[in-house]
Structure 1
Amino acid sequence: MSDMITADLVDLDLSADTKEAAARSLAERMVAQGRVTDLDGFLADVAAREAQMPTGLDGGIGIPHCRSVHVTEPTLAFGRAADGIDFGAPDGPADLIFLIAAPAGADDAHLTILSSLARQLMNADFTSALRSVRDAGAAAALIRGEEPAAGTDTAAAPDTAADATGNAGEHTQDAAVASAAASADATAGSTTTGNTTPTPATGGTPDETPAERPFRVVAVTSCPTGIAHTYMAAESLENAGREAGVELVVETQGSAGFTRLDPAVIAAADGVIFAHDVPVREKDRFAGKPTVDVGVKAGINRPAELISEVRGKAERGEVSASAGGGTPVERAGEAGDGYGTKLRKWLMTGVSYMVPFVAAGGLLIALGFAIGGWEISKAPAVTEHFSWTQVDSWAALMFQIGGVAFNFLIPVLAGYIAYGMADRPGLVPGFVGGMISSTIAAGFLGGLVAGLLAGGVVLGIQRIKIPPVLRGIMPVVVIPLISSMIVGFLMFVVVGKPIAEAQKAMTDWLAGLSGSNAILLGILLGLMMCFDLGGPVNKVAYAFATAGIAVQNPSDSAMKIMAAVMAAGMVPPLAMALATTVRGKLFTPTERENGKAAWVLGASFISEGAIPFAAADPLRVIPASMAGGAVTGALSMAFGATLRAPHGGIFVVPLIGNAVLYLVAIAAGVCVTTALVVVLKGLRKTAPDASAAGQGAGAATSATQQKQPVAA
């Protein structure tokens, strides 16, 4: 690692007070050494990685890192902050900061060396020596795994007790640094990496009985960048396995590639641990075994608990119902998520799968009305009458295809809520329960309940200890059969009718909204659409609106709600685009560039177009956006604008009732948000920190590019 870090890339008195400032200070050293070509561009990539998941680790360590086109060669910079800097670690601020920069096309050898540093960070002697070393050159040597050069000042403070006997303090410190370096090297060399063939820690053959050999675990670790967390989790799990007397082998799926575990090792394993934040590659190899599936940081912070958990599952005979184990929500979330957080994710899983059906079906129905008029709903089935030369026949075709798509909404919602809870075994009872909800007119609320019931029933069945001979047919026959019977009974006999009555009451209330009540609802929906710009609150408002029009003949009130929701969702990106046009000096160059794209995103009803601005300056952008959204929602409801299509922005204006006033409502909200943003930014006492804003903008832009342009 001799060419990755030098004394010039070490700051033992890092004075930054935020993680952004710390990254900038260390990155400036990289720029000075010619390792980074574009400071702001590189920092934007660092911020984008940080936005995916905090890089703080227990033990006072922060490891901001990224792969970037602005990095010329793999580089490390190290800073030591006496007061600590918050990198999002559970146990508090970090005093040891490593900024890891890898080129976008870094070769495997360099990335493997970088992974060895990640493993060294799990060594207490190594981190202790870094906290006490006094010379930048010695710190760089320690990180490289070398002994400090003779005469290098690595002593602790002069007033230590050891100094009472002359130079003992310096000698002791030299020994500590050398010992840590040797220990780190030994650890890095003895553990499994992405480019070595993993072998079990102890002997034994698959034919041995459990009583004759230790408990065996195979694990896979991975993180978005594949540089640091991947290898730290591997090291942590291996150390915990040795302490617990468990035979544990890790496959690190990092940026340096990965070497597949020997199939024989997997076959002989008693359990599987996945510690990952990106999908595990070739997961089917691990199907049918007791599995613990968590985020990569759980592998770093609580490896002993994970080993104990997988051991308990093996003793109870619990196996993964599908390859990889763990539900989609568990795989996507942080370890330790509460039930409230999981419930929200379960519901959003169902909504996210439902939205494409809403968009496709709604737009087809709206186009059918636009071409054939409102009477098209009474047209005969196209299977009985269709003329290639008649416009009305094509309009009827679109309308009827859209109607079929709408018939899937409630089953898909329920099925994928259950999928989010229990993975693939939840799909069958979820879809069955959702279809029953549609049959008994329990609607959107019934779909929510059916999905939760289906997921809960499947999870309950999976906890039952099953004889090994039956495990193969459980996910294919037993679970679908029993869970569908239970969910069907509950929906038909127990909860379906009360839910249907509640659904009818809510529909009747919406249909009766008028005057000030409708305006207040428009304000509320506008605030929700602009609060988190495509997040859960935004999705709740959108799902509420689409549920109302998800029928072939929606009420006038339901179409007014849909219009208000779409209008409010268009305001934030359009307002940011306008603000960057009229007062460009208040924004960074990156934000002004994002403003150009925001015109198109806003016009297309993609609220995420405002995320780069909100990420860079949330205290000004989000309140201003909410104010404009509330104005637009209220005006849309007051003007009586209606919308049958669930998406489309300005491209479905011909399908909007009172279209001119609808556009006036959007323009008013855009002007309000633009004015507030300009005023609030202009009131700042100091000029905007272009670099910080650029980081936030870059992070949010990266996140935005990964989103699906639906549900605004």
Structure 2
Amino acid sequence: MRLVAVTSCPTGIAHTYMAAEALEQAGKAAGHDVVVETQGAAGSTPLDPATVAAADGVIFAADLEVKDKGRFAGKPTVDVGVKKAVHDAAGVIAQAVAAVEADPAPASPAPAAAPATKVEAGASTATRVRQWLMTGISYMIPFVAAGGILIALSFMLAQAAWGRNGAVEVTQVGADTLIHDFSVASGQHWAALLFVVGGAAFGFLVPVLAGFIAYAIADRPGIVPGFVGGAVAVTVGAGFLGGLAAGFLGGFLALWISRWPVPRGVRGIMPVVVIPLLSTLVTGGLMLVVIGRPIAALMDALTSWLGGLSGQSAILLGVILGAMMGFDLGGPVNKVAYVFATTGLATPGLAPDAAQYKIMAAVMAAGMVAPLGMALATQVRKALFSQAERENGKAAWLLGASFISEGAIPFAALDPWRVLASSIVGSAVTGGLVMAFGSTLRAPHGGVWVLPLIGNPLAFAVAVVVGSAVCAGVVIALKSLRREATEASETTDVAAEAGAARA
């Protein structure tokens, strides 16, 4: 059969492409031709209309609403989450084949303006909230990565240009100096340029988060109140938590207003004038005079608490965040820990050794452990792993070094509890060690490729190596116990059969 598929995940990074590869390989193994369109963070290249027209069936392996879904109207369709395609691609292919053979009635085209979040019919409130949050985070992460790395590079260059206090000096160079007196030959000016541009990207972090949470809830009418509410949250100092509140408030207000029964003559101006005007006024006003100040006080308290972390409390926080990074390998728990760390980087006026930078280092180091640990285990005890797992282990070296936790998913798909248990233990060890060593990191992503931006890089590397070794050791021990138990069971069965034969 000829099948087409679309894959997408909330962050648009790893799962999107892993699902595509898994479906293509499973289709090939089953004798079917599968062509996949990936709708990821890097954009997407739409399937050729001729390919869609010739397809027998369609697979949607997506956690976000599929773009231009109407292209596939009339085709037998299977709609699953992206993780289902990663973990059980063969089963998804079988579902699609069964759907084609059943030849159901043609599907109706999807609405032109579908909401950004895909929530299954009858989904629980918790599922809906998670999807709305992940939609906002998926749009926020590129701003975090671009802004954070630019600022980190500016500090590194500033230390070379100004000396030890460069990280302070670079913040004193304003945009006016760059506009009127920029010198190509000045390292100080280049450092300031990186800082200003990175700061501009970081400035969108909270508004983008709020805007796309609201978009996920109310579709396009939610964008304006969400963005404006997020901007007001920044103004009053409510930060990340204020952005969350503004996103939900603006989204639900816009959704509520859009459902008002209005005269036919007014319907045309509702989405253009009435909904954005009223929802933005109410959201911005409430954030400014009612909600924003208490949240800002909470953010100040959180910043003070983080600033006072030291000793065992800091190590314990590193252990907890590390365990979260290893818990579901790019899933919601992993993303909560990551977002907690990255939003801390946006706190103004941080000292070079601030706790927020240590937390970022602990989170990134812990996120590298699971793929590296699996890769190491496949080399140390090859007999415990299949040929496919050993091949995945070769790729996991690079994925782990690049801080892509999803590199361990192929192993977790085949042996979930042993792999995840070892991942949690190894990642927790690394998180605690990084906090104990006091390594810092100003960049929100990059793995070994941003090693020059890491404070105390040798200790950081030691923590990653130790955690990876622990992860590999635990998974080898667990798999060995399972193998011994299986062999003992087989020996007992053989002895019983021999005894029965003699009798």
For the residues of structure 2 that align with 1:411 and 1:378, how far apart are their CA atoms? Answer: 25
Contact 2:210/2:244 (CA < 8 Å) preserved in 1? yes
Equivalent residue for 2:249, pick from 441, 450, 453: 453
Match of 2:122 in 1: 336
Q: How does 1:235-314 map to 2 (within 5 A)?
A: 235=105, 250=106, 252=107, 280=110, 283-284=111-112
Q: Number of paired residues?
A: 416
Match of 2:421 in 1: 623
Equivalent residue for 2:172, pick from 363, 368, 378: 378
% identical equivalent positions? 54
Q: Secondary structure at the match of 1:466?
A: coil
Equivalent residue for 1:558, pick from 356, 362, 365: 356
Match of 2:401 in 1: 603
CA deviation profile, 1:567-602 (whole Å, cap 9, x unmatched)? 100000011111111111111111111111111111
Q: Secondary structure at the match of 2:120?
A: coil
Query: Which deviates the most, 482-491 or 460-469?
Result: 460-469
Task: Give the drift of 1:380.
Answer: 3.4
Question: Which one-letter code corresponds to 2:28 in the other structure?
Answer: V
Contact 1:411/1:432 (CA < 8 Å) preserved in 2? yes
Query: 1:399/1:584 Cα in 2 relative to 1: closer, same or farther (>3 Å)?
Result: same
Query: 1:106/1:429 Cα in 2 relative to 1: closer, same or farther (>3 Å)?
Result: closer
Equivalent residue for 1:669, pick from 458, 467, 473: 467
Contact 2:56/2:75 (CA < 8 Å) preserved in 1? no
Match of 1:510 in 2: 306
CA deviation profile, 1:616-664 (whole Å, cap 9, x unmatched)? 1111110111001111111110111111111111111111111111111
Structure number with higher helix proportion: 2
Equivalent residue for 1:682, pick from 476, 480, 490: 480
Query: 1:452/1:107 Cα in 2 relative to 1: closer, same or farther (>3 Å)?
Result: closer
For the residues of structure 2 that align with 1:642 and 1:419, how far apart are their CA atoms? Answer: 35
Task: Give the drift of 1:489.
Answer: 1.5
CA deviation profile, 1:531-586 (whole Å, cap 9, x unmatched)? 00000000000110011101453350111111100010000001111111111111
Q: How does 1:561-710 map to 2 (within 5 A)?
A: 561-685=359-483
Q: Over aligned residues, Cα RMSD in angstroms? A: 3.1
Higher-Rg structure is 1
Question: Which one-letter code corresponds to 1:404 in the other structure?
Answer: A
CA deviation profile, 1:513-545 (whole Å, cap 9, x unmatched)? 111110110010001000000000000001100
1:69 matched to 2:28: yes
For the residues of structure 1 that align with 2:100 and 2:138, how far apart are their CA atoms? Answer: 29
Equivalent residue for 1:483, pick from 270, 275, 279: 279
Question: Which one-letter code corresponds to 1:418 in the other structure?
Answer: A
For the residues of structure 1 that align with 2:471 and 2:266, how far apart are their CA atoms? Answer: 61
Contact 1:73/1:106 (CA < 8 Å) preserved in 2? no
Q: Secondary structure at the match of 1:650?
A: helix
1:528 matched to 2:324: yes
For the residues of structure 1 that align with 2:148 and 2:116, how far apart are their CA atoms? Answer: 28
Query: 1:385/1:493 Cα in 2 relative to 1: closer, same or farther (>3 Å)?
Result: same
Question: Which one-letter code corresponds to 2:296 in the other structure?
Answer: A
Query: 1:380/1:342 Cα in 2 relative to 1: closer, same or farther (>3 Å)?
Result: same
Question: Which one-letter code corresponds to 1:644 in the other structure?
Answer: R
Task: Give the drift of 1:469.
Answer: 2.2
Task: Give the drift of 1:228.
Answer: 4.4
Equivalent residue for 1:350, pick from 126, 129, 136: 136
Identify the structure with bigger relative contact order (alpha carbons < 8 Å, sequence gap 6+). Answer: 2
Equivalent residue for 1:363, pick from 125, 149, 172: 149
Task: Give the drift of 1:395.
Answer: 1.4
CA deviation profile, 1:186-245 (whole Å, cap 9, x unmatched)? xxxxxxxx99xxxxxxxxxxxxxxxxxxxxxx999733566544786954xxxxxxxxxx
Question: Which one-letter code corresponds to 2:344 in the other structure?
Answer: G
For the residues of structure 2 that align with 1:109 and 1:358, how far apart are their CA atoms? Answer: 41
Query: Which deviates the most, 220-229 or 593-602?
Result: 220-229
1:111 matched to 2:56: yes
Contact 2:152/2:453 (CA < 8 Å) preserved in 1? yes
For the residues of structure 2 that align with 1:467 and 1:221, how far apart are their CA atoms? Answer: 39
Q: How does 1:129-528 map to 2 (within 5 A)?
A: 222-223=77-78, 227-229=97-99, 234-235=104-105, 250=106, 252=107, 280=110, 283-284=111-112, 323-324=113-114, 327-329=115-117, 332-373=118-159, 374=167, 375-381=169-175, 382-528=178-324
CA deviation profile, 1:293-341 (whole Å, cap 9, x unmatched)? xxxxxxxxxxxxxxxxxxxxxxxxxxxxxx24xx322xx2322111111
Contact 2:365/2:431 (CA < 8 Å) preserved in 1? yes
Query: 1:502/1:230 Cα in 2 relative to 1: closer, same or farther (>3 Å)?
Result: farther
Q: Secondary structure at the match of 2:248?
A: helix
Q: Secondary structure at the match of 1:567?
A: helix
Question: Which one-letter code corresponds to 2:173 in the other structure?
Answer: A
Task: Give the drift of 1:475.
Answer: 1.3
Question: Which one-letter code corresponds to 1:387 in the other structure?
Answer: S
Contact 2:213/2:226 (CA < 8 Å) preserved in 1? yes
Query: 1:71/1:527 Cα in 2 relative to 1: closer, same or farther (>3 Å)?
Result: closer
Query: 1:392/1:510 Cα in 2 relative to 1: closer, same or farther (>3 Å)?
Result: same
- Please list every run of 5 or more consecutive structure 2 residues that lacks an aligned counterpart in the other structure: 2-17, 34-49, 60-70, 80-92, 160-166, 488-503
Task: Give the drift of 1:372.
Answer: 1.4
Task: Give the drift of 1:468.
Answer: 2.3
Contact 2:56/2:100 (CA < 8 Å) preserved in 1? no
Contact 1:577/1:596 (CA < 8 Å) preserved in 2? yes
Contact 2:253/2:279 (CA < 8 Å) preserved in 1? yes
Task: Give the drift of 1:494.
Answer: 1.3
Q: How does 1:17-28 map to 2 (within 5 A)?
A: none
Query: 1:481/1:616 Cα in 2 relative to 1: closer, same or farther (>3 Å)?
Result: same
Task: Give the drift of 1:384.
Answer: 3.1
For the residues of structure 1 that align with 2:104 and 2:242, how far apart are their CA atoms? Answer: 44
Query: 1:468/1:366 Cα in 2 relative to 1: closer, same or farther (>3 Å)?
Result: same
For the residues of structure 2 that align with 1:233 and 1:455, how far apart are their CA atoms? Answer: 39
Contact 2:258/2:271 (CA < 8 Å) preserved in 1? no
Contact 2:56/2:76 (CA < 8 Å) preserved in 1? no
For the residues of structure 2 that align with 1:73 and 1:565, how far apart are their CA atoms? Answer: 41
Q: Secondary structure at the match of 1:421?
A: helix
For the residues of structure 1 that align with 2:211 and 2:410, how far apart are their CA atoms? Answer: 34
For the residues of structure 1 that align with 2:475 and 2:317, how far apart are their CA atoms? Answer: 25
Query: 1:234/1:467 Cα in 2 relative to 1: closer, same or farther (>3 Å)?
Result: farther
Match of 2:7 in 1: none
Q: Using structure 1 for the length normalisation, give the TM-score.
A: 0.55
Contact 1:223/1:230 (CA < 8 Å) preserved in 2? no
For the residues of structure 2 that align with 1:107 and 1:343, how far apart are their CA atoms? Answer: 33
Question: Which one-letter code corresponds to 2:27 in the other structure?
Answer: S
Question: Which one-letter code corresponds to 1:69 in the other structure?
Answer: K
Equivalent residue for 1:549, pick from 322, 334, 345: 345
Contact 1:586/1:688 (CA < 8 Å) preserved in 2? no
For the residues of structure 2 that align with 1:109 and 1:345, how far apart are their CA atoms? Answer: 33
Q: Secondary structure at the match of 1:591?
A: helix
Question: Which one-letter code corresponds to 1:493 in the other structure?
Answer: V
Q: Secondary structure at the match of 1:605?
A: coil
Task: Give the drift of 1:110.
Answer: 9.2
For the residues of structure 2 that align with 1:654 and 1:627, how far apart are their CA atoms? Answer: 27
Q: Secondary structure at the match of 1:328?
A: coil
